[in-house]
């Protein structure tokens, strides 16, 4: 279907190339997903008061805080069910994906350097991201 549409519209073809190749949309999206998995592993291993515990809710909390920081002017209540994900919407621009990757990398670095002293400290550092 997309091939037919591209054949009929050179402008659409250009936009697809620009978004997915020039702006590296898929690459940045994959990096953000990989970093989030790594961040979750580090939450399990590096936050002293959370080691050996079920931290699934912490991953969700972290994701919500990051979404609120990345999309401050978007009503995120519209993206709360399994069918509607903001990362699969028109709001998931290359800029938003880069910001997500940047925030995740910052938190990963803090965890890897053993800067985080506790879950409360992690939340404080998460709130300070900019």
Domain assignment present for residue 35? The answer is yes
C-alpha distances (whole Å) from 122 to each of 41, 68, 95, 97, 111 are 14, 16, 25, 22, 9
66 CB-contact burial (10 Å; exposed 0-12 / middle 13-18 / buried 19+): buried
This prediction has a pTM of 0.76
Q: How many domains does the structure of the chain reveal?
A: 1
Segment 55-79 shows an average pLDDT of 92
Domain assignment present for residue 117? The answer is yes
DSSP string, 20-60: IIIS-HHHHHHHHHHHHHHHHHHHHHH-GGGTTS--HHHHH
Domain assignment present for residue 5? The answer is no
Is 90 exceeded by the pLDDT of residue 77?
no
Report pLDDT digits (tens) over 10-61: 676 656 666 566 556 566 666 667 888 999 999 999 999 999 999 999 999 9
Domain assignment present for residue 91? The answer is yes
Domain assignment present for residue 62? The answer is yes
DSSP state of 118: S
Q: How confident is the model at residue 4 (pLDDT cuts 50, 70, 90)?
A: low
Q: How confident is the model at residue 88 (pLDDT cuts 50, 70, 90)?
A: confident
Domain assignment present for residue 17? The answer is no
Domain span including residue 122: 26-128
Domain assignment present for residue 107? The answer is yes
DSSP state of 77: G
Q: How confident is the model at residue 7 (pLDDT cuts 50, 70, 90)?
A: low
Domain assignment present for residue 106? The answer is yes
């Amino acid at each position: 279907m997309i091939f037919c549409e591209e054949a009929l519209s050179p402008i659409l073809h250009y936009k697809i190339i620009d978004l997915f190749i020039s702006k590296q949309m898929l690459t940045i999206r994959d990096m953000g997903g990989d970093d989030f998995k790594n961040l979750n592993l580090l939450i399990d291993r590096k936050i002293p008061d959370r080691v050996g515990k079920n931290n699934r809710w912490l991953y969700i909390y972290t994701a919500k805080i990051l979404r609120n920081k990345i999309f401050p002017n978007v009503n995120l209540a519209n993206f709360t069910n399994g069918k509607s994900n903001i990362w699969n919407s028109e709001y998931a621009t290359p800029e938003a994906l880069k910001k997500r990757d940047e925030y995740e990398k910052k938190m990963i670095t803090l965890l890897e350097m053993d800067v985080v002293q506790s879950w409360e400290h992690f939340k404080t550092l998460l709130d300070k991201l900019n």
